[in-house]
Amino acid sequence: MTPRRNTAISEVRIPRPALEAVDRMRESGEIHVWWWPLGTRTDPADYAVLDEVERGRAQRFHAEADAAAFTATRAGARRAVAALLGIEPHQVGFGRRTCPGCGDREHGPPAVSDPPVPLAVSLSRTAGAGAFAIRAGDWVGVDVEARRPVEPAGLADMVLTATESAHVLGLPEGPARDAAFHRAWTRKEAVVKAVGLGLLGMALNTLDVHPAQDGPVQVVHRYRGEETRWQVTDLDIGERWAASVARPAADPAGPVHLHAPA
């Protein structure tokens, strides 16, 4: 689980700017989201930011483009946390929280493990773009997807509820339909990531995210007879991609700060 703050210890182990940043984020309820384009070749500057475990993972990719995407996303996340907390990228460590479904720590949602501050994080990448979200607290989810044409008999049936499908496929074929579909898809993925269960908790085609409505929207997730509610906000990162971020609806709905690439 996310380490709890112990003042007697944290004043020694955690830099004061980091503590102040977390307190500010908790009070405001803000979310920070960074996104960046992904190239096809690994940037040595990105690779240098990774820790030994991440470098090992990068080296195991067979395709250079996949290694480059992984490296850029992890390096971007590390730099984002460092900038937010006022520390250096090499001082940032990532781990995992306990899985809320089975209690296993090996595949729970990602977390900042060093410094040990109560920050929820989420990572996503797609063709050409990566994204990273962070907030004070326990849960957050971000998703980014490259837009592509919607095939009514294929992907839409796997992703959309009957109500969503009627709305999306009722739109004229082309950009409007594609945009509505990807709005729904990224909202769903952001929620299941925030819940921490992925598709184990609730299939995408049973999760209604109201694509006919402009965001933010409230979404109900059901798992083992229990309901949780999430606020989902759409992110504008250009015409090539769709993106959304989700957080618990009961928490303070502070601003979403979107950090575009420099």
pLDDT recorded at residue 38: 93
Pairing relationship of beta strands 226-235 and 217-223 according to DSSP bridges: antiparallel
The torsion angles phi and psi of 173, rounded to 5 degrees, stand at: -60, 135
pLDDT-based confidence at 13, cuts 50/70/90? low
Task: Give yes or no for residue 192 having a pLDDT over 90.
Answer: yes
Task: Specify the residue for token string 């993106």.
Answer: 243
Q: In the predicted model, is pLDDT for residue 226 greater than 90?
A: no
pLDDT of residue 11: 40
Reply yes or no on whether the pLDDT at 203 is more than 90: no
User: What is the predicted pLDDT for the residue at 108?
Assistant: 74
Domains of the chain: 1-138 (3.90.470.20), 143-249 (3.90.470.20)
State the pLDDT at residue 236. 94
DSSP state string for 158-216: HH--HHHHHHHHTSPTTHHHHHHHHHHHHHHHHHHHHHT-GGGT--GGG----TTSPSS
- Retrieve residue 83's tokens: 């900038």
pTM of the model: 0.88
DSSP letter at 39 equals: -
Give buried/exposed letters for 18-35 (b at 16+ CB in 10 A, else e). bbebbeebbeeebbbbbb
- More confident of the two residues 1 and 126: 126
Q: Is the peptide bond prior to 216 cis by the omega test (within 30 degrees of 0)?
A: yes
- Please tell me the chain's helix, strand, coil percentages from 3-state DSSP, rounded to the nearest 5: 40, 25, 35
- 107/19: higher pLDDT: 19
Helix (H) or strand (E) holding 65: helix 64-85
Residues belonging to the chain: 262
pLDDT at residue number 153: 65
**Mean pLDDT confidence for 23-34:** 93
More confident residue, 156 or 64: 64
Give the DSSP letter of residue 2.
P
pLDDT for residue 54? 93
Q: How confident is the model at residue 150 (pLDDT cuts 50, 70, 90)?
A: confident
Q: Give the model's confidence band at 9: pLDDT under 50 very low, under 70 low, under 90 confident, else very high.
A: very low
Average pLDDT value for the chain: 87
Please give the average per-residue pLDDT across 235-261, as a whole number. 93
Q: Is the pLDDT of residue 3 over 70?
A: no
Mean pLDDT score, 31-37: 95
